[in-house]
Structures are given as structure tokens and as C-alpha cells.
Structure 1
Amino acid sequence: MATIKDIADQANVSIATVSRVLNYDETLNVSDETRQRVFEAAEQLSYQKSNKKWRKRKFKIGLYYSYSLEEELSDTYYLSIRVALEKKLQSEGLKVHLIRSSDQLEQLRSIDGIICLGIFFPEDIEKISSFQKPVLFMDSSPNEDLFDSVVIDFTKATKKALNYLIELGHTKIGFIGGVDTDKNGNHYSDLRQEVFENYLKSKDLYCEDYIKIGGYNPKDGYLLLKELLKLEEKPTAVFVANDTIAVGLYKACYELGYRIPEDISIIGFNDISAAQFMVPPLTTIRLNTEFMGETAVSLMQERLMSEREICMKITIPTKLIIRESTREIQ
């Protein structure tokens, strides 16, 4: 096993310098070239594997959430990711600073890196870039050349849901989703909607009347399904952008006397904890939110420790959870 003395000999510096460099002593006055020689020697001698202090430097991470508490509670997708993220940060003993939209560069001097969760528009991204810190986006990837990111593969997940419905014999498939709007009134469509439309067009199964867009909440799901069910030729299945919307669909079906899945199949997205207890239990796409949080923290630590300049994008797979809200039709 390599020792500090071995590193000192290879880097041509004193043992004390090696110790202080590997322990990130900020009072040490040495050149960047010297620090690099020490780290390279430690890496070559596999010292990292036997020195926890070097590996476990306690960084200070800024957390920037783009949504409000009310929005988080109305769509628990972000809640589940945030809980997993903060749980991992706590287990690693990392310091945390919650960033507000009003924060300026001067207030973030002590932060080593920033993890962003939510929907960020161009003006938000420009401000985040001005902080001049390593940045990781969760659930979005605004610029793969500038930022690390941990994302869900929405394209594959949406196609997975549609393929399942098509295999069950459904050809009249509706979509209920939402749209994001920035402070200037610009609208940003949901990627799931884009994939839904393009994929069904490629299968010659697309019907514009089956697309209903509102908010990501039960109320809009309730109202929009009622609109769909007023059509003369109704869809036999509906794919919704999140399970929270699906709650509203269930209420609409109950009030109108439609049975799930006998009269209409419903497939959700997120697999919230309540999905398995809905009546009937909701078929949905499960997102590995806990793994997303753990991966984001690990990737940020790795970037800060290695001073990596090349950005990385990690895509987390999803799983189709088949329950009782969908059925085969003839």
C-alpha cells in the first residue's frame, strides 16, 4: 500500500506538503502545478483507494429548486426526487445551501457546486451560468456541453407505454398532459406529448381530437377527460403525463359511470405511492427517483474531486408497472 512518503518522493515535494494538499488545506501556499503533481502521483500509486480523507472531502452543495412548495405538493414527482437527493447529501455529510432565485454571485462564493431540480427557462439558465460553479441539472439537460445532467429517458418511457397499449389492441389512444409557461408567457410543451404525437403518427394511429392539454393536476385531468368522453368516437385508452392527473380521470369516470378498465384503459406516469392503492390500481411508468438523487450527488462529488471539465449526461431507465387499470380489447 502506497504511503504519503511514496507520493512525496514521486512528486518531489515534502511529506508535509503531500499531507496538506491531499487534505485540501486552504492555507497552503503552493502552485497549481505542485498540487497537480501530488494528485497525479497519488492516483498513479492508488493512494486514493486507501485514503478516505482525500476521497471524502466535505463539499458545500447549492440546491436550486425552480418550483414552489405548493407546486411540489400538487405533483409529488419533484417531492420524491428532492427527498432522495437530500437524503443522499445528508448521508454523505455534505453541507447544503438552498439557493433562492434572488441570490447573487456574491452570496454563493463558498459553494463548490450547484444541483438544479425543476423546469428552468433560458433566462434562468443564463443566471445559473453566471454563478461560475460546476452545475448539474436533474430532470433536464439544457446544454450538454456546459452542464452535467441526470435525466429520465422520456422518449423510451412514452414509447413503452404506447407499445403496451397497442399490444393490448388499442388503436384509439388519447393523451392528457400539461404545458410549462415562463414569466414572459412563452409556452414549452411536454416531451411526452411530442413523442406521443410523433410515434402514433408513425403508426397511423394519431388523432388530434384525442390530445388534451391543461395543468399537471387532478382538477385538469378531471375536466379534460370529461371533454374526451363527450366525443362521438371516444378513445379506448388514455395515457396521462403523470399519476396526479390520473387521479382526476378516476373521479371523472366515476361520475360519468365509466368503468376502468372495462370502458376505458388508463396508464399513468411516475408511479406515485398512491398509484397501487387507487381503485383499480393504476398501470404506470415507474421512475427510479431515489436512484436519480443518489446518482446526482455522486456525479457532483466526482466532478468536484476530479476537477473534470468534460460534461456527463446520465440517463436513468424506467419500468412499466402493469396493474389493473388497463385491459386487452378485441
Structure 2
Amino acid sequence: MATIKDIAAKAKVSPATVSRVLNYDKNLAVNDSTKRRIFQIAEELHYQKNKKVRKTNLKTIAIVLWCDREQEIKDLYYYSIRTGIEDQAKALGYRVQVYYESDSLDSLDKSIAIVAIGYSQYSQVRLNKIKTAAKPLVFVDEDTLQQGECCVISDFHSSIIEVIDHFLNHGQTKIGMLAGDLHNDYDKDNLLDFRFQGYKKYLQSKNLYDKNNVYVGKFTPDSGYQAMQEMIKSKNIPDALVISNDAMAIGALKAFREANIKVPEDISIISFNDTTAAEFANPSLSSVHVNTQEMGRAGMKILQDLLSDGIKVPYKIVMDTNLILRESSIN
């Protein structure tokens, strides 16, 4: 069985650093790339924490994710939401049980309530298991109010308008989008990505929408790179590009750099999430800051409300976003 020392040797960091990263020490001054490397090595070595068996009266909150551990590490957006939920749950005196994509949900009934991150990304079978657990339930990062479920979302409607208006104010009218979709059989004109839905609707209102300017990736740097290679080959280069997350934007920057397409002189880019990667990209990425940890905390606060019978009807919380302008856009 792999130990913390094994991980430390392979990651070329101290065992203390590995221990603090694996225990999500918020006071540890280690960059995200190092954290990702440690988690990836731990996964490769099949590391399992030594859990001491002790009696406890703490009640359990289930956190369900649509992705696996590797995907969560690659895009810290979901990691940040999860840690926000965990922090608030612990502050309220609960313990948490995390369920990733490949984990069985058969033990959900042992938890007193559920926070699910995402909604449309789940298979119908898995979604049914979450709902039929018949526990107080909150969805984070998708609007499920019409489905009769409490939820926490970010105000992507306003932010996408702000991004497009920024481009238009700088004379950039041919505005493309690199949207995200996890499926291979997507309809490029009707993607589930809610950032795309806002983009399409707003550009249509200005008679500027063209589906030929839409490209699709799977929220990863590699997929962003491949999608932009396709765009470059087509020679249909827009003035500006909205990208659904920072991870795909990193891949896009690589494709443009290899093709000698200058950012922002030849094409402006604004992405979403404003993770650490955005600030340290080259050029640094203009990005919409999403308050992911606060989304997680808010989801847990709704659960506490449901558990204490404070609210009898479903409701949603909409979190503010703000556009951070950096070097990848003309400002």
C-alpha cells in the first residue's frame, strides 16, 4: 500500500506538504499545479488514507459530483465548490461523504441530506438515485427550480452580456464561442452549456449570431486546443472569443501561439471561472470571476434551512459574478 512518503518522493515535495494537501489545509501556501500533481500521484499509486475507527455522533451530509477525481483536479472549479460545501458543513457540525462518478450511491440513505454539484451532466439513472433517496436535496451550479429542487447558481446571464458588450464596445462584432459539452452527439446549435445559451440569445438579439463561429470542447485544455486547431484550419477566425472555462482557454492559447495568431491583437479572449490558471497564463486571461466557494457554502446553508424546517417551498440563490480584465482582451 502506498504511503505519504511514496507520494512525496515522486512529487519531489516533503511528506508534510503531501499530508497537508491531501487533508485540504487551506493555510498551506502551495500553488494549484503542485496540488494537482500530488492528487494525481496519489490516484496513480492508489493511496488510501488510514482511517481511525472512532465512535461519533456526527450526522453525515452527502456530496455528489458528476465527475471523477481526475476531472475535478484538472478543473478546480468543481473542487472549489466542493470544499466550500465541506467547510460550511463542518462549521455546522456535520461530517461529509463524497461520491464521485464511479462511486455507488447505494449508501446515500445513510446521509441525512444531499448536495449535488451539477444536474444535466448526470445520467438519468444516477439522477433518479439521487432524487429517490428522499432526503433534503440541493443542486449547486445549475438552475433546478423548475424541477422543484432548491439550487444555487451564478449569474451567468448578466456576465455573458457584459463580456459581449465589452467586445462590441471595442469594435469586435464577429464574436465566436468555445463552449463546453461532455457528449459526442451534441447539437452545436442547441448546447446544454448555459453560457452558450446566453451567448446565442444575446447575439441573436443583435443579429450577430452565426453557428459557424461556435466550437465545442469537453472543458479540458486538450479539448480546447483541438477545437481551436479546427478553427484555425477553417480560416474562419473571429475578432473575439468567449470560452466557457479557463482550462479550455489555456488550450486555445497554445493553439494560437503555434499558429502565430496574436492574442489579443488578432483575437481577443475572455473565459469563465477566473481560476489561478487564468492569472498566470501567457498572456494572462481576462475571465469572469465565479464565487465558487461561496456557492458551495450557500448550498450547505440551504440544506440547513431544509433540515430545520425553515422553508417549505423550493427556492434558489443567485450569486454575483464579476469580469476581471487582463492581457488576453483589448481593454
Distance 1:256 1:186, change over 3 A: closer
Q: SS of the residue aligned with 2:308? A: helix
8 Å CA contact 1:228–1:235 kept in 2: the answer is no
In structure 2, how many angstroms separate the alpha carbons of the residues matched to 1:170 and 1:255? 23
Of stretches 227-236 and 281-290 in structure 1, the one that deviates more from structure 2 is 227-236
CA-to-aligned-CA distance 1:226-271 (integer Å, 9 cap, x gap)? 2223344521111101000000111112111122111111111000
1:165 is matched with which residue?
167
Indicate the residue corresponding to 1:132 in structure 2.
Answer: 134
SS of 2:182's equivalent? strand
Deviation at 1:58, TM superposition (A): 5.8
Residue 210 of structure 1 aligns with an amino acid whose one-letter code is N
Q: Distance in 1 between matches of 2:145 and 2:304?
A: 20
How much does 1:59 deviate? 4.3
Give, in whole Å, the separation in 2 of the partners of 1:308 and 1:201.
Answer: 39
* SS of match in other structure, 2:72: helix
Q: 1:195 to 1:290 in 2, by over 3 A?
A: same
Residue of structure 2 equivalent to 1:74: 74
% same residue: 31
**How much does 1:162 deviate?**
1.0
- Given residue 161 of structure 1, which amino acid in structure 2 is its aligned partner? V
Q: Which residue of 2 aligns with 1:282?
A: 285
* Aligned mate of 1:300, from 273, 285, 303: 303
Cross-structure match for 2:149:
147
**In structure 2, distance between residues paired with 1:228 and 1:186:** 18
With over 3 angstroms needed to count, the CA separation of the structure-2 counterparts of 1:171 and 1:95, relative to structure 1, is same
Q: Which moved more, 1:265-274 or 1:195-204?
A: 195-204
Matched residues, number = 268
8 Å Cα contact 1:285/1:318 also seen in 2: yes
Specify the code of the residue in structure 1 equivalent to 2:285. Answer: L
Structure 1 residues 241 and 186: CA distance shift in structure 2, 3 A: closer
Change (3 A) 1:144 1:202: closer
**Partners of 1:285 and 1:229 in 2: CA distance:** 25
**What SS does structure 2 have at the residue aligned with 1:261?**
coil
Distance in 2 of aligned mates of 1:111 and 1:219: 37
- What amino acid maps onto 2:105 in structure 1? D
Assess if the C-alpha contact under 8 Å between 2:145 and 2:316 holds in 1: no
- Measured in 2, the distance between the counterparts of 1:307 and 1:316 equals 21
Cα RMSD of the aligned pairs, angstroms, is: 2.2
Tell me how far apart the structure 2 counterparts of residues 287 and 127 of structure 1 sit (CA, whole Å). 29
- Any idea what the Cα deviations from partners look like across 1:113-156, whole Å, max 9, x if unmatched? 11111333433332222111110001123354532111112222
For structure 1, list consecutive stretches of 5 or more residues without a partner in the other structure: 1-56
The alpha carbon displacement at 1:160 in A equals: 1.7
The 5-angstrom pairing of residues 166-185 of structure 1 reads 166-181=168-183
Query: Contact (CA 8 Å) 2:145, 2:315: kept in 1 or not?
Result: no
Q: In structure 1, how many angstroms separate the alpha carbons of the residues matched to 2:175 and 2:241? A: 6
Q: Which whole-Å CA distance do the structure 1 matches of 2:276 and 2:81 have between them?
A: 13
* Equivalent residue for 2:272, pick from 262, 269, 273: 269
> Runs of at least 4 residues of structure 1 off by over 6 A?
none
**Corresponding position of 1:96:** 96
Quote the Cα distance in structure 1 between the aligned partners of 2:123 and 2:227: 27
Cα pair distance change 1:66/1:145, threshold 3 Å: closer
1:284 to partner: Cα distance: 0.6
Rounded Cα–Cα distance in structure 2 between residues aligned with 1:306 and 1:59: 17
Partner of 2:232: 229
Question: Aligned with 1:229: secondary structure?
Answer: helix
TM-score (norm 2): 0.75
TM-aligned CA deviation for residue 293 of structure 1: 1.4
Normalised TM-score (structure 1): 0.75
Q: Distance in 2 between matches of 1:77 and 1:145?
A: 24
Take 2:160 and 2:285, find their aligned partners in 1: how far apart are those partners? 16
Q: Deviations over 1:54-99 (max 9, x none)?
A: xxx9643111112101211222211111122212222333122334
1:144 and 1:312 in contact (8 A); partners too? no
Contiguous gaps of at least 5 residues in structure 2: 1-56
For residues 231 and 186 of structure 1, do their structure 2 counterparts lie closer, same or farther at Cα, with a shift above 3 Å needed?
Answer: closer
- Judge conservation of contact 2:77–2:275 (CA < 8 Å) in 1: yes
Task: Write the deviation string for residues 187-242 of structure 1: whole angstroms up to 9, x where unpaired.
Answer: 76212112212211211112222111122111121122222233445211111010
Q: Does 1:84 align with 2:87?
A: no
Task: Give 2:246's match in structure 1, choosing from 226, 235, 243.
Answer: 243
Residue 275 of structure 1 aligns with an amino acid whose one-letter code is A
Aligned counterparts of 2:322 and 2:276: Cα–Cα separation in 1? 15
Distance of 1:212 and 1:322 partners within structure 2: 23
